[in-house]
Structure 1
Amino acid sequence: MTAGLAGLPIRDELRGHTPYGAPQLQVSVRLNTNENAYSLPDEVVAAMERALAATLRDLNRYPEREAVALRAGLAAYLGHGLDASRVWAANGSNEVQQQLLQAFGGPGRTALGFTPAYSMHPLISTATGTGWIDGRRSADFGLTVSDVVAQVREHRPDVVFLCSPNNPTGTSLPLDVVSAVLDEAPGMVVVDEAYAEFRRPGTPSALELLPGHQRLVVTRTMSKAFALAGVRLGYLAADPAVVEAVQLVRLPYHLSALTQAAASAALAHADVLLDTVEAVKHQRDRIVATLRDYGLTVADSDANFVLFGQFRDQKAVWQALLTRDVLVRDVGLPGWLRVSAGTPAETDVFLAAMKELV
């Protein structure tokens, strides 16, 4: 915290914290933020340009407040019998999760997550005045039914965060774990599926459990598989009552007309945009196999990134890669680093650098 902040009457629970963010450095191979390495296809760019152009003359008016057309498009994409009443959209899945904590968390309430997991969950909890509880994972970063049930029973949290695939480990959850949490948890269960499109065949989605589970929420994003990190569009699927609840706390006209237009145009070309998913998965699997051939320990991944180690000093390895013009992520997990799956050329450079280092 800066000297300037120290002189302000900032909330006590915010003191000593630093803003979230990965290093934004100028390097040739940037593999630290799990972006989709492939640029938007020309036909999608053209469609988005037309959609934005049609919106520009009406920017003197507020956007469509409930984004019903966009939500209907997202529901159609997800399938599972969903419609607009069961989908909500906001500025990235982070805002969606913040709204969930504003509605179901807050002062005097707690949220439980199983770390290592997405580092924004405890930060959003702190920002909304929700107490954060660090849950445990096994040595292979997995979660078992007995593990999660015992921890939920111990802490009785108002909100439980489950990540599948998990960030930073890339591991997915079997549905019996999610079901067990739903049966035991007294409050909301949020399954963060930001990387769901990159799952290996046969890996289920918690969307299958939505019928009959009013307290289940599944969050997704268009930042990863859709290659729209710059648009900032996240969404949830849940019971209509959950959508009503987050509408109580959302800011007025929170999704700009430009965001809605760009996201809707992208959804209309989902098949084209998702063509890159298989290419990314191929590079991910290549990274896993090659790093294991190098003798490193690598976590199984259903995401577009790979967690690898175990190093005596991961910071030294991170720096050694940076000197070779490759930027990966030090997620603060001793002995481990995370690398995003990039293009074939980027993967070549990363793997060649790692071969030198090991």
Structure 2
Amino acid sequence: MTTLDDLPLRDDLVGKTPYGAPQKHVPVALNVNENTHPVPEAVAHDIVARVAAAILTVNRYPDREFTGLRESLADYLGHGLTRDNLWAANGSNEVLQQVLQAFGGPGRSVLGFAPTYSMYSLLADGTGTDWIAGERDADYVLSPETAVAAVRRARPNIVILCSPNNPTGTPLSLETIEAVYDATRYEGSAGIVVVDEAYAEFAPIGTPSALSLLDGRPRLIVSRTMSKAFAFAGARVGYLAADPAVTDALRLVRLPYHLSALTQAAAVAALAHSDEMLAMVDDIRGQRDRIVRELTTLGYTAHRSWSNFVLFGGVDDPHAMFEALLERGILIRDIGIPGHLRVTAGTEAETTAFLEAVASLRASGSAAAE
């Protein structure tokens, strides 16, 4: 049987492994930070109707500029943004890939701060961009001082800041973003700064977004997704806001007609019902905070989170606990941080199932829960 070793793979991809979140059919799947609440039925009917209308003209290519979607996204985000500031693609991973294609590549580098979203380094690999992992402060915080010091050492072409951070849920201050942006002005050149706000809607109400920093910062990009708060993971819609010059740069690397007419129709319909689609966010925040409280009571170290998941430590054998929960039909995530696991905040019933299983393991004295 042919293997990768038998193929003329690019030298810089030899030995690499693909994204590998487990895909298992279980009653309670809390491992990939999906919004486990279903789309409201009335909204679903409207989405279906708009997609059905789009099918009537699917013999033609879609709007290459996805104008209606960009206008809907601008209306949703506010902050004085217009469609010229917006860009979208098939999930925020493709958005970030296009950013790396435009501003990274061979001989260029991207700086992130580990532990962080595992796809950043994979996207760097795929675009031939050198990945540089900076360090964080205690409790996974990223201070302006620590971030700026890393930028000055590495002088990267791109900096990616995850806000809040995945997989830790840690908030990121606007002061850190501003400091990093200022630090990326090098002698004779300057770098792009990407703030990945995939989980922004789960932050406390009133939390300022990096969107507020866009004016006057043409090298700043704010990336978002509809996968999480909008419960639209299966639709694959990610987007960014930036200076119009950035969207012009992305047109140089995007594939023609990269967003299907059906995707555009579904996303515009969902955005038209943003209030209903986001109504579940408060419940998710409540379940997240419940997980933090109850895991802390059980003796674990549940880290502060502004996302829809919780990273918790104090687990002597993460693999054993992962397997013990899986045997009970509950799938969470081992993200490779020693002594830690991560769990998505699900519905009340899903969260209860997870917490009761952990408590049961703890009470039984199972090694998996120690």
Q: TM-score, normalised to structure 2's length?
A: 0.95
Provide the residue aligned with 2:28 in structure 1. Answer: 29
CA positional deviation for 1:3: 5.5
1:125 pairs with 2:138: no
Provide the residue aligned with 2:368 in structure 1. Answer: none
The partner residue of 1:279 within 274, 283, 288 is 283
Aligned to 1:26, what secondary structure does the other structure show?
coil
> Over residues 240-295 of structure 1, what are the superposed CA-to-partner deviations in whole Å (9 max), with x where a residue is unaligned?
00010001100000000000000000000010000000011110000011101111
Provide the residue aligned with 2:264 in structure 1. Answer: 260
CA positional deviation for 1:203: 2.8
CA positional deviation for 1:320: 1.1
Provide the residue aligned with 2:367 in structure 1. Answer: none
Q: What amino acid sits opposite 1:163 in the alignment?
A: C
Distance 2:351 2:82 in 1: 39
Q: Between the two proteins, what is the percent identity of the paired residues?
A: 59
Provide the residue aligned with 1:212 in structure 2. Answer: 216
Q: What amino acid sits opposite 2:137 in the alignment?
A: S
Provide the residue aligned with 2:345 in structure 1. Answer: 341
Distance 1:97 1:127 in 2: 12
Distance 1:41 1:312 in 2: 40
Q: What amino acid sits opposite 1:109 in the alignment?
A: R
Unpaired segments of 5 or more residues in structure 2?
185-189, 363-370
Provide the residue aligned with 2:3 in structure 1. Answer: 4
Provide the residue aligned with 2:301 in structure 1. Answer: 297
CA positional deviation for 1:313: 1.7
CA positional deviation for 1:152: 0.2
Provide the residue aligned with 2:111 in structure 1. Answer: 112
Distance 1:216 1:154 in 2: 20
Q: What amino acid sits opposite 1:298 in the alignment?
A: A
Q: What amino acid sits opposite 1:340 in the alignment?
A: T
> Over residues 157-181 of structure 1, what are the superposed CA-to-partner deviations in whole Å (9 max), with x where a residue is unaligned?
0000000011000011010000000
Aligned to 1:40, what secondary structure does the other structure show?
coil
CA positional deviation for 1:309: 1.3
Distance 1:258 1:228 in 2: 13
Distance 1:336 1:344 in 2: 23
Which moves more between the two structures, 48-57 or 201-210? 201-210
The partner residue of 1:194 within 198, 204, 208 is 198
CA positional deviation for 1:202: 4.2
CA positional deviation for 1:8: 0.5
Provide the residue aligned with 1:310 in structure 2. Answer: 314
Partners of 1:172 and 1:203 within 8 A in 2: no
Provide the residue aligned with 1:97 in structure 2. Answer: 96
Provide the residue aligned with 1:327 in structure 2. Answer: 331
- How many residue pairs get aligned? The number is 357
Provide the residue aligned with 2:175 in structure 1. Answer: 176
Unpaired segments of 5 or more residues in structure 1?
none
Superposed, 1:49-60 pairs within 5 Å as: 49-60=48-59
Q: TM-score, normalised to structure 1's length?
A: 0.98
Distance 1:310 1:144 in 2: 25
Q: What amino acid sits opposite 1:171 in the alignment?
A: T
CA positional deviation for 1:14: 1.2
Aligned to 1:157, what secondary structure does the other structure show?
coil
Provide the residue aligned with 1:84 in structure 2. Answer: 83
Superposed, 1:12-27 pairs within 5 Å as: 12-27=11-26
Distance 1:57 1:145 in 2: 52
The partner residue of 1:203 within 197, 207, 210 is 207
CA positional deviation for 1:204: 2.2
CA positional deviation for 1:57: 1.6
Aligned to 2:254, what secondary structure does the other structure show?
coil
